[in-house]
Chain A
Amino acid sequence: MNAFDAIVIGAGTNGLTCAALLAQQGMAVVVVEAHEQIGGLARAHEFHPGYRSAGVLHDTTVVRPWVVDQLSLVHHGLQLRPTKPDVLALGAPGESLLLAGDRLRTAGEIAKVSERDADAFLEYRAYLDRLRPVLSQFFDRQPLDLIDTGMGDLWAMFRQGLSLRKLGKKGALELARLMPMCVGDWLDEWFETDLLKAALALPAVAGTFTGPRSPGTNANLLLHEAAAGTGGVVAGAPALVRALEKSARANGTSIRNGIEVKRLLTDGGCVEGVELVDGEELRAPLVVSSADPKTTLLELLPAGTLPRSTEEALVSWRTRGTTGIVLLALDRKPVFTCAPDKNIAYAQTGGHILDIERAFDAVKYRQVAAKPVLEIEVPTVERPNLAPEGHAVVAVRVHFVPHTHDSGWSEQQRSTLGDQVVAELGQHLENLADTIVAREVMTPADLETSYGTTGGHIHHGEHALDQLLVRPAPGCQRYTTPLEGLFLCGAGSHPGGGLTCAPGGLAATAIART
């Protein structure tokens, strides 16, 4: 007799979302998390005594409102910001552009460099607003099965085809033109200011194995913009994790952290539970994994369990992580030289589309660019308690960093990367070097070990058209797997990575239907 109806592997945002929703339906659910702390890529951790990071993933503006509602996360302490946080785009030393949460303010900022772009920006935003209702369906609906297409899929395609009509005949064709484009070309059609174009392009390529000149990156931009519908979560990703945990527990979910799953227990074509590293066996008719597809289906399952074609598809599933993390503990608040009076919480470098492209070039040759592109977060602005009184934490996501370094990731290589980032950052922060108390450098290889994502990929798998349309593999596209009772609910499933909570939420719906 099973103690549980369902076992969820991994207590990241998707695992917790799925667990909470299953528990809400009255199931007895246990979540098994390998790490001492829950949260996965969203978990905060103490990288130096008294200094805590804010998680690898930071963009909470993409969290799906329907997940927030269904799990009454607000009741569980989640606070949504009224508007998106400001982001300071940094160009050449001294050059910057404030992308404000409020578009009119942003237009005002842009107008200082280009009147033309200021007007274009408002049109650009308005155009994205028109696309959002169509594109956001991607994050809020069950995925289509484009491989084993049934009547249901054809009907769904037809309906979604009709919803395209909202954009008008021309609008639909225009969308077909935009999706395969490279983000650089599209932004060139809108704007003339390099810093603005670079700033808008970065989210389209961050975390991927593509540069702004790579075809298809515009689809990432449009999907990202469609998803980013809220102002984000006050106190960021860790706050989202806390609310999800509360909601899950309130629904009776038990969470066991600090214990790793060794393998999945199967009998014939069925999953029966999991075996933990300490030898303990948990049994349940339902196992839902938020680990990445390669880990779940190629490592936790005995070889030969899967059909050959599914296994081959998973082997060629691309998970080349390209994001590094540098965490800095500072003994005072950082001051941005180009905005000394402002309390900047978010900033990014990359003054020109081609700067980002050059940063990407290096990773193709398994090297780090001379000038990596940085996404900078100062979590202590909103959460001073992450550092001692008056001190600060600066968390930097570094693009692009190879998972496998041409000459191997040595301590030497790692600290060179750290120095590079500090040097780059030092161009924009007042005497940064002297204020650093401690730093931690994580390469994709390190992310792989500490977060258990294959290739250290922060999206559990490349965001490219082929891997977004069939995610992760034929036979596993709807959160199901070839094994009865085994389901996927992580970023490796539709609609992909980021703090949307959508894979977890949609997986729960799919499971409820079976």
Chain B
Amino acid sequence: MVAINPFNPAHPDYPGRPDKPSRSSYDAIVIGGGHNGLVAAAYLARAGRSVLVLEKRPVLGGAAVSEEVFPGFTFSVCSYVVSLFRPHIVRELELAKHGFELIPLECSFTPQPDGDALVRWADSARTRQEISRFSRKDAEIYPEFGLAMSKLSQFAKAIIDNPAPDPNAIRPREIAKLLRLGKIMQDFDGDTRHLNLKLMTSSAVDFLDQWFESEVLKSPMSVSGIIGTFLGVRSPGTAYVLLHHYMGEIDGAYRAWGFARGGTGGVSLACARSARSFGAEILTCAGVSQVNLGPDGRACGVVLENGDVINARTVVSAVDPRRTFFGLVGKQNLDDEFATQISRYKLRGSSGKVNLALDRFPDFTARPGDGPHVRGDIAIAPSIDYLERAYDQAKYGDFSERPYLNVVIPSLSDPSVAPPGKHVMSIFVQYAPYEIKEGPEFWPQRREAFGDAVIDTLSEYCPGLKDSILHRQVITPWDLEQEYGLGEGNIFHGELSVEQLLFLRPAAGWANYKTPVPGLWMCASGTHPGGGVMGAPGELAAKTLLRSGEL
């Protein structure tokens, strides 16, 4: 008999079960078994609290999930690469012991329409050789750029590893936080400070224009500024995300991106096993329909979709802010001002996903054959104009006919995810706006057309692709909302635009995981420091909750 895939909930060691809760009351109930919910649960359980995690779907991981979509083919269905998962979380939750393992991506491959290509390697000298074919000047300055960015990333790290500073608070803790940031700035020289200011305010393209001349280099670099956002590479405020490529830490050492073994779901399952080892209870097929409020207006538990009531001293929500407050708590239980803040919170999903099961290795015209160059990520981003045109279409309510694509073929570095000789290809697609002109509910009718646009685009660089496709799964923003619970299909639980970051995420005055509903906390990407498979919101939320003395 065939061994059951460890990501299949039927597997005996699967950390979640569709059972009944073992008790009627818990210290904390975590709504949503995504990676942030599980990280929060693990920290709370580790601190000796009784914790129950409730996941609506039969599988754990939320958007950080591996599923055997087609027999023998396991996909990182949504989130497909891991970069910023905080190393101290791996240590504190002993995730390695529970199967957390990252396989570094060695490079980034950008095939060009003219049959040429640029590959950026982890090894800078090799990258410079590649770049010098397009611009000697750019090749020379490339390391200098990397150095400057790594310097600046200290600033960004200080931000994502701490709760958001509260500019209004006069508490010593808050002032210390601000001083710490101030200190980092003071230690920068003038040029670096100016660079930091530009990084925080300008567009990815304008920022890169100061350094480089070659579009073959600038285009693929600029896209890291727009992933998951409803912005273009020329939109102010997109530059700072460039940093993430210089902050990635895998097992402590600097590396940009990596795959989790078995797919991104591997990260979530490791978190789940860790949470269990600390005594947390994890239920699947347990959708929550409502947060229960006591007579005093305090959150005192939840009602499941099947009507069961479970009590808790605190409820921690790992679903996006809008669903948390308008869906689970209910507008009628919020004061008008806060309700307005949440209704103004922008979700605006802008991306989709196409997952392919291939019966053979797909050849790229620019560099045929298997090789290290296809074991990293493959970016279809031929020019700045191409990327902006893709964005412009989305602004007016269409998906891009020629979208930006970020492609990975995990089966090349992790054979466990596909049958021998066969491959899985995961394609991240932007732009696919949630709000198409016809209205989001019409996405199902346009789903296949969207999938075709993606395959046609990629086929221009990979002619044999169509013939090698065994199965295809097309995920639109509508699907991300309906199936994975991401509001408006936003992969970050809310636009990562400056007015929704730091002390403004998700709402001014409520950026510290606490909510206006006593006993209700938030712990996912809709809170500081935002989206991505970082685990930071879950960790910071749990630590803040424990420190608050409420639990």
Contact = CB atoms under 8 A, between A and B. Distances in A.
A173 interface: yes
A215 B234 contact: no
A313 interface: yes
A112 interface: no
Interface string A432-448: 00000000000000000
Interface string A328-358: 0000000000000000000000000010011
Interface in B153-201: 167-168, 190-191, 193-194, 197-198, 201
Nearest to B396: A354
A146 B186 CA distance: 11
Interface string B384-415: 01001100100110000000000000000000
A165 to B, nearest CB: 10
Contacts of A174: 508
A464 interface: yes
Nearest to B384: A364
A176 B509 CA distance: 12
A465 B194 contact: no
Interface string A444-469: 00000000000000000000111001
B395 A213 contact: yes
Contact of A169 (B168, B197, B395, B498): B168
A148 B191 CA distance: 10
A184 to B, nearest CB: 10
A474 B190 contact: yes
Contact of B236 (A185, A216, A357, A474): A216
Given A181-B499, A464-B201, A466-B197, A176 B504 contact: yes
A177 B392 contact: no
B385 A364 contact: yes
Contact of A180 (B198, B209, B237, B392): B237
A173 B510 CA distance: 11
B168 to A, nearest CB: 5
A474 B198 CA distance: 12
A407 to B, nearest CB: 15
Given A169-B168, A176-B167, A464 B202 contact: yes
B236 A215 contact: yes
A169 B508 CA distance: 10
A215 B509 contact: no
Contacts of B236: 210, 214-216, 464-465
A464 B194 CA distance: 14
B504 A469 contact: no
A169 B167 CA distance: 9
Nearest to A184: B395
Of listed A213, A465, A466, residue having the most chain B CB within 10 A: A466
A318 B203 CA distance: 12
A474 B194 contact: yes
Contacts of A361: 388, 392
A7 B197 CA distance: 34
A309 interface: yes
A474 B234 CA distance: 24
Given A178-B499, A210-B236, A215-B497, A185 B508 contact: no
A312 B209 CA distance: 12
A466 B201 contact: yes
Contacts of A313: 194
B205 to A, nearest CB: 10
Contacts of B503: 173, 176
B91 interface: no
Given A173-B509, A180-B499, A216-B236, A146 B193 contact: yes
A189 interface: yes
B344 interface: yes
A316 B211 CA distance: 9
A318 B499 contact: no
Contacts of A309: 190-191
A412 B497 CA distance: 42
A179 B501 CA distance: 13
B395 A357 contact: yes
Interface in A153-194: 169-170, 172-174, 176-181, 185, 189
Nearest to B501: A180
A358 B396 CA distance: 9
B235 A214 contact: yes
A177 B504 contact: yes
A364 B388 contact: yes
Nearest to A313: B194
Contacts of A464: 201-202, 206, 236
A470 interface: yes
A66 interface: no
B508 A177 contact: yes
A250 interface: no
A358 B499 CA distance: 24
Nearest to B188: A147
Nearest to B231: A215
A298 B231 CA distance: 34
A185 B197 CA distance: 24
Contacts of B389: 365
Contacts of A469: 197, 201
B332 interface: no
Given A180-B499, A215-B236, A318 B206 contact: yes
Interface in B8-65: none
Contacts of B385: 364-365
A470 B395 contact: no
A181 B235 CA distance: 11
Contact of A147 (B193, B237, B497): B193
A466 B198 contact: yes
Of listed B344, B346, B499, residue having the most chain A CB within 10 A: B499
Nearest to A309: B191
A242 B235 CA distance: 40
B168 A215 contact: no
Given A354-B396, A364-B388, A147 B194 contact: yes
A232 to B, nearest CB: 30
B548 interface: no
A68 B520 CA distance: 56
Interface in B484-514: 497-499, 503-504, 508-509
Given A172-B167, A470-B197, A180 B235 contact: no
Given A173-B167, A178-B499, A465-B201, A216 B508 contact: no
Interface string B228-249: 0001001111000000000000
A17 B104 CA distance: 61
Interface string B255-275: 000000000000000000000
Contact of A316 (B210, B497, B498, B499): B210
Given A181-B499, A215-B236, A364-B234, A466 B202 contact: yes
A36 B319 CA distance: 67
A313 B192 CA distance: 12
Nearest to A176: B504
A465 B206 CA distance: 13
B191 A180 contact: no
Contacts of B237: 180, 215-216
A176 B395 CA distance: 25
Contacts of B396: 354, 358
Interface string A298-326: 00000000000100110010100000000
Nearest to B348: A185
Contact of A189 (B168, B235, B344, B392): B344
Contacts of A465: 201-202, 236
25 contacts: A147-B190, A147-B194, A169-B168, A170-B509, A172-B167, A173-B503, A173-B509, A180-B237, A181-B499, A185-B346, A213-B395, A215-B235, A215-B236, A215-B498, A215-B499, A216-B236, A309-B190, A354-B395, A357-B395, A358-B396, A364-B385, A365-B389, A465-B236, A466-B202, A469-B201
Q: In the A-B complex, list the 8 residue pairs whose CB atoms are closest, starting with the nearest.
A: A180-B498, A173-B508, A465-B201, A316-B210, A216-B236, A215-B237, A466-B201, A177-B499
Given A174-B508, A177-B508, A179-B499, 4 more contacts: A169-B168, A213-B395, A361-B392, A470-B197
